[in-house]
Amino acid sequence: MHTLLKDNPGEQILMLGNEAIARGALEAGVAFTSAYPGTPSSEIALQFFQISQENDLYFEYSANEKVALEIGIGAAMSGLRVMVTMKHVGLNVAADALMTLAYTGVVGPLVLVVADDPFMFSSQNEQDTRWYGKLSGLPILEPSSVPEAKEMVKYAFDLSEQLKLPVIFRTTTRVNHSSGVVTLGSMRERITEGSFEKNPFSYVCVPAVSRNLHVKLLEKYDQALALANESPWNMMEGDGKWGIICNGVSYSYVKDILEDLGVTDKFRVLRLGFSHPQPGGLIKTFLKGCEKVLVVEEGEPYMEEGVRNFAQKAGITIPISGKGDDLFSRLYEFNPAMVKKVIGSYFNLTFASSQPIEVSDLSEAPARPPNLCAGCPHRATYVAVREVFGDDAIYPTDIGCYTLGLLPPLSMGDFLVCMGGGVGTAGGFSRATGKKVIAFLGDSTFFHSGLHALVNSVHNNHNFTLVVLDNLTTAMTGHQPHPGVDLSHLGLSHTTVDIEQVVRGVGVKKVITVNPFKYRKTVEAFREVAEFEGVSVIISREICPLYARGLPDHKKERPFYVNQNKCKDHRVCVDKIACPAFYLEDEKVCINENMCVGCAFCAQICPEHAILPVKKEGKS
Amino acid sequence: MNVTKLMIVAVGGQGNILAARLLGEAGVIAGLPVRMSEFHGMAQRGGVVESMILLGDGMGSAISDGEADALVGFEPSETIRAISKCNTDSLVIANTSPIPPYTVAQGKAEYPDVKTTFDKIAGRISKLIAFDATALALQAGTVLSLNIVMLGALAQTGRVPLDVELFRQAIRKNIKPALVDTNLKAFDLGFDAAAKVN
């Protein structure tokens, strides 16, 4: 049985934040779940995926975040208890559905988990999801710790049920990827069958209906505001004259720092966990007891602007600060020492700060950038593309492992903003410059949002080559399935959608599927599309070796080695392919047998044919 | 506040996350408050993996520069990269067997002289325990037990408020039965290695 299904209230379990969120949903009786994976949210969906194979919980990896939300909406409108999870940029994709869902509201509760990534550990931007609260009018809850995340998720379901509105549950990486001790609660019964009551004049958002619904949304907003002002998730602690308003992980730092410095008596702290609608009444009450206030929040000055607004309305003129020089930055993640320093300087506290040891004279650690894995088929595709087009073509790329092709010596990636954007921008680059454009796109990304751009390009007679790097899984986020994946090894009967058929179906005239580990044929395919006018698609299809390793029928290939008698040290292998399995020993190229997966790609590139499979009984 | 702050750094694939989990589980068995955080954005793609483990009072799960009570480095250059987490009272347990990043093979970066750098570090912290943990892992039966060798060494120092037996319990509870013996052996080898340095 899955650990998160333990029906043993009171038991304490060490859980990842994302596991705690999933457990909270299960305790709240969640029946219907959907997601598009994305760091740092992915492990929530993984729990649901696993659990759905054990019981009647519905879960699906949807093609993208908007579809995931829409699937969830259908279930929530039918009265089921629903959770949909995604990363922060995923909400941009889902936002179209969410904005008007705020108008219709929901019948069963719908909790939308959105995981922000301050510092961009694994993201293309660090946008602050809290603004979506203001944009949509929907309530936002934000936990400060792992144990709280579980409890707060349960409340999110209650709140959604009470207001008949979807609730945004906003986390940051430091909550998603932290672990803490969680006390199991009891499980609410899961109801997996719903019914839909038709009510088109409340649910079909034509202008005349929406004009009424917007009024309703504002009424619900007022109810939510009243709840936020009274909410136990918005805690006031202490009765000192110095005020700190904080949220999320910042609260945990503030709390530890004040305790550590022994100054809790000088401060009063307001932690906003129910952070939208901003609880103006509560904030005003808090401000009235303060001489000066510091707002501690990662990301944008979302609370700070609100607090200043409420102060102005209440005629409160005390200093209120947050972001600024010598204060907090809008950039990146906070850490305890940084928060301590700003609190110290703002409130004139003196304390001995921690003293890192002297490091200026130590040799620097060499950069260890993430790299395409040993035996990654994307690398092979990139080597072939570089062979044919060099630096002459423009290479829009997309979001996935293959983005790492940007690093030299492959240097395959000239522009990237968002999922699916590689295909869309390709048409623009091509029209504007008249140059050869080769766009890269992953298989999961193809289904996520590349498809629409491809259809557009066919219709508008654009001229570029799209390379679909099909490694048969969503590799970057941990090998989740997508519509093109065969799940029969898990006993699941999903229908596999064939990328080549789709591409041909939308009218692409030139389509070639290659195995990138067959170097010569792959190069030939790229030569063939080089002169083609119009949209051409090369599907470069080979399974991700990390994913393959976990499949039941996986057979390990023999690794390769460099025959030092044959090697003339051209270093074409290192300079062109840059597989991480290569290393230098006494200035000679060698292959790490533990890393080599036996793809045999480098053996085809070596001009001396000096790269050979390791013989079964030892090697030369 | 009474809290022990531990940091583990490693290269993707070295078992950092599991080591942290075992430490945390041992803490839970001991009834200690446990908070951890992990960073492994692109770990499987050869990147750096960091874990922070806080045992004891408090709420936060992050460790700032100069605040680690102990730093455990599974790879020497990663130990060097993270060394600013240490202060003069810190303990450092470091594997001496390198995994050079690809930037070194490409000639774009230089791998530091481990001995010279570790000698300098040793003079600035309370104690450095450096040994070839990779060799001990292989001796235990698999290079994959490196993480447990390092845990064994940490357990020996007594810098973690956890009885040695709790580590063994956590290993038995969280590692596949078929692999428990190998890992207990790895644990003992690490424990003995640290004892020799002591």
User: Cβ–Cβ of B60/A256 closer than 8 Å?
Assistant: yes
Collect all residues with Cβ–Cβ distance below 8 Å to B137 and sequence separation of at least 6: B143, B144, B145, B146, B148, B149, B186, B189
Query: At residue A415, does pLDDT exceed 60?
Result: yes
Q: Are A112 and A292 in contact (CB under 8 A)?
A: no
Together in a domain, A469 and A504: yes
Contact A337 B67 (CB under 8 A): yes
The span from the CA of B170 to the CA of B179, in Å, is 13
Q: How far is residue A456's CA from residue B196's CA, in Å, rounded to a whole number? A: 69
3-state secondary structure (DSSP) of residue A606: coil
pLDDT tens digit string along A99-137? 999 999 999 999 999 999 999 989 999 999 999 999 999
Nearest to A63 by CA among A532, A443, A568, A527: A443
**Residue type present at position A437:** V
Q: Identify which of A416, A425, A411, A469 has the alpha carbon closest to the alpha carbon of residue A445.
A: A469
pLDDT, position B102: 83
In a domain, residue A554? The reply is: no
Spatial distance between the Cα atoms of B67 and A147, rounded to a whole number of angstroms: 24
Percent of chain B with pLDDT strictly greater than 70: 96
* B80 lies within 8 A of chain A by CB: yes
**Contact indicator for A117, A40 with CB cutoff of 8 Å:** yes
Partner residues linked to B8 by β-bridges: B51, B72
Domain membership of residue A382 (yes or no) is: yes
B195 touches chain A (CB under 8 A): no
What's the rounded mean pLDDT across residues A341-358? 93
DSSP secondary structure string for all residues of A45-95: HHHHHHHHTTSS-EEEE-SSHHHHHHHHHHHHHTT--EEEEEEHHHHHHHH
Q: How confident is residue A352, by pLDDT bands cut at 50, 70 and 90?
A: confident
Residues A199 and A286 in one domain: no
Q: Which residues of A78-113 are buried (b: 16+ CB within 10 A; e: fewer)?
A: bbbbbbbbbbbbbbbbbbebbebbbbbbbbbbbbbb
Give CA separation, A608 vs A44, A539, A581, A596, in Å.
49, 30, 19, 19
Task: Provide CATH code, domain B3-197.
Answer: 3.40.920.10
* Residue with the two structure tokens 């998160």: A4
Report pLDDT for B42. Answer: 62
What whole-number distance in Å separates Cα of residue A301 and Cα of residue A295? 8
Q: What Rg do the C-alpha atoms of chain A give, in angstroms?
A: 27
pLDDT at B44 over 70: no
- Look at B1 and A335 and tell me if their CB atoms are within 8 Å: no
Examine the domain organization and report whether A339 and A432 are in the same domain. Answer: no
**B contacts of A356 (beta carbons < 8 Å):** 65-66, 84-87
Indicate which CATH number applies to the domain containing A31.
3.40.50.970
Render pLDDT for B147-173 as a digit per residue (tens, 0 to 9).
999 999 999 999 999 999 999 999 999
What pLDDT, on the 0 to 100 scale, is given for residue A617? 63
Q: Which of A294, A349, A347 is nearest to A324 (CA)?
A: A294
pLDDT at A619: 44
Question: What confidence tens digit (pLDDT) does each residue in A461-482 have?
Answer: 999 999 999 999 999 898 999 9
What residue spans define the domains of chain B?
A: 3-197
Residues whose CB falls within 8 Å of the CB of residue A448, separated by 6 or more in sequence, listed in order: A36, A63, A64, A93, A419, A420, A482
Whether chain A has a CB inside 8 Å of the CB on B166: the answer is no
Q: Which amino acid is at A340?
A: K
Domain identity same for A381 and A515: yes
Mean pLDDT for chain A overall: 96
The distance of B106 to chain A (nearest Cα, Å) reads 7
- CA separation for the pair B92, B72 (Å, rounded): 6
pLDDT at A618 over 60: no
CB contact under 8 A, B28 and A12: yes
- Checking if the pLDDT of B178 tops 70, the result is yes
Residue B41: the pLDDT is 59
- The answer to whether residue A142 is domain-embedded is yes
Q: Which two three-digit tokens encode residue A614?
A: 């390791």
Q: Are residues A309 and A204 in the same domain?
A: no
Q: Which of A43, A120, A179, A571 to mutate to test the interface with B (most CBs of B within 10 A)?
A: A179
Query: Looking at beta carbons, which residues of chain B come within 8 Å of A574?
Result: 105-106
Per-residue pLDDT tens digits for B48-93: 899 999 999 999 999 999 999 999 999 999 999 999 999 999 999 9
Q: What is the pLDDT of residues A452-463, one digit of tens each?
A: 999 999 999 999
pLDDT at A276: 98
How many CB atoms sit inside 10 A of residue A490's CB? 13
Q: What is the spatial distance between Cα B192 and Cα B153, in angstroms, rounded to a whole number?
A: 7
Pair A19, A136 in one domain: yes
**Strands of the sheet with B48-56, listed across from one edge:** A12-16, A178-183, B34-39, B48-56, B3-11, B68-73, B86-95, B127-131
| pLDDT-based confidence at residue A569 (cuts at 50, 70, 90) | very high
Q: Which pair of tokens denotes residue A558?
A: 């023999």
Structure tokens at A472: 């048969």
Contact A354 B110 (CB under 8 A): no
Task: List pLDDT tens digits, range B129-148.
Answer: 999 999 999 999 999 999 99
Please indicate, yes or no, if residue A329 is contained in any of the structural domains.
yes
Q: Give the domain extent around A602.
A: 560-613
Q: What is the CATH number of the domain that holds A263?
A: 3.40.50.920
User: What is this structure's pTM?
Assistant: 0.96
Q: What is residue A583's predicted lDDT score, i.e. its pLDDT?
A: 86
Same domain, A396 and A514: yes
The answer for residues whose C-beta is within 8 angstroms of residue B198's C-beta and 6 or more apart is B129, B156, B157
Mapped onto helix, strand or coil, the DSSP state of residue B25 is helix
- Please check whether residue A572 touches B, CB under 8 A: no
Residue A315 sits in the same domain as residue A451:
no
Mean pLDDT of the region A326-335: 96
Q: Which residues contact B189 (CB under 8 A, 6 or more apart)?
A: B136, B137, B139, B140, B149, B152
Q: How far apart are the first and last CA of chain B?
A: 28
With vertex at residue A317, the alpha carbon angle to CA A314 and CA A322, rounded to the nearest 5 degrees, is 100
pLDDT of residue A620: 44
Give the tokens for residue A466: 């799209």
Residue with tokens 């208890």: A81
Q: Looking at per-residue confidence, does A585 or A224 come out higher?
A: A224
User: How many Å apart are CA A127 and CA A109, to the nearest integer?
Assistant: 26
* Other beta carbons within 10 Å of A520: 9
The residue out of A179, A194, A228 marking a domain boundary is A228
Sign of CA dihedral B116, B117, B121, B122: negative
Mutation site, B25, B50, B59, interface A, largest A CB count within 10 A: B59
Does one domain contain both A211 and A108? yes
Rounded-to-integer distance, Cα A554 and Cα A559, Å: 15
3-state secondary structure A431-477: HHHCCCEEEEEEHHHHHHHHHHHHHHHHHCCCCEEEEEEECCCECCC
Q: Of A515, A549, A583, which residue sits at a domain end?
A: A549
Mean pLDDT of A600-605: 97
- For A586-609, b/e burial (b = at least 16 CB within 10 A) is eeebbbbeebbbbbbbbbebbeee
Say yes or no: A387 and A506 in one domain: yes
Cβ pair B78:A355 closer than 8 A: no
Q: Considering chain A, what percentage of its residues have pLDDT values greater than 90? A: 93
CA distance A33 to A45: 8
The verdict on residue A34 lying in a domain is: yes
What percentage of chain A reaches a pLDDT higher than 70? 99
Domain total in chain A: 4
- CATH value at residue A580: 3.30.70.20
Average pLDDT over residues A350-358: 89
Whether residue A277 is preceded by a cis peptide bond, meaning omega within 30 degrees of 0, is yes
A256 touches chain B (CB under 8 A): yes
Spatial distance between the Cα atoms of A65 and A533, rounded to a whole number of angstroms = 34
Q: Are A367 and B101 contacting, i.e. CB atoms less than 8 angstroms apart?
A: yes
Please give the average per-residue pLDDT across A81-108, as a whole number: 98
Residue A615 has pLDDT above 80, yes or no: yes
A503 to chain B, closest Cα gap in Å? 30
Q: In the structure encoding, which two tokens stand for residue A398, read together?
A: 């997309």
Give contacts of B 83-122 with A, CB under 8 A: 83-88, 90, 100-106, 108-113, 116-117, 120-121
Judged by CB atoms closer than 8 Å, whether chains meet at A370 and B112 is answered as: no
CB contact under 8 A, B90 and A357: yes
What are the pLDDT digits (tens) for A267-305?
A: 999 999 999 999 999 999 999 999 999 999 999 999 999
Pair of tokens at residue A516: 């990138």
Pick from A183, A201, A228: which residue ends a domain? Answer: A228
For chain A, how far is it from start to end, CA to CA, in angstroms?
A: 49
Are B122 and B93 in contact, with CB atoms under 8 Å apart?
A: no
User: Are B121 and A335 inside 8 Å of each other by CB?
Assistant: no
Q: Tell whether B26 is within 8 A of chain A (Cβ).
A: no
Distance between B24 CA and the closest CA of chain A, angstroms: 7
Q: Are A512 and A525 in contact (CB under 8 A)?
A: yes
Do A480 and A606 reside in the same domain of the chain?
no
What are the b/e assignments for A365-379, b being 16+ CB within 10 Å? bbebbbbbbbbbbbb
> Which residues have CB under 8 Å from A199's CB, separation 6+?
none
| Alpha carbon B122 to its chain's center | 17
Cβ–Cβ of B64/A337 closer than 8 Å?
yes
Q: Which residue of B has its CA nearest to A249?
A: B60
Cβ atoms A289, A243 nearer than 8 A: yes
Of B1, B38, B66, the CB nearest to A260: B1
- Asked if B21 and A14 come within 8 Å (Cβ–Cβ), the reply is yes
| A121 interfacial to chain B (CB closer than 8 Å) | yes
User: What is the per-residue DSSP string for A98-121?
Assistant: HHHHHHH--SS-EEEEEEE-TT-S
Name the A residues in 574-613 with CB < 8 Å from any B CB: 574, 578, 580, 582-584, 594
**Beta carbon pairs, A and B, within 8 Å:** 189
pLDDT of residue B12: 87
DSSP classification of residue A566: T
- The answer, for B146 touching chain A at a CB cutoff of 8 Å, is no
Whether A221 and A236 map to the same domain: the answer is: no
Question: What is the pLDDT, as a whole number, of residue A353?
Answer: 81
Asked if A352 has any chain B CB less than 8 Å from its own CB, the reply is no
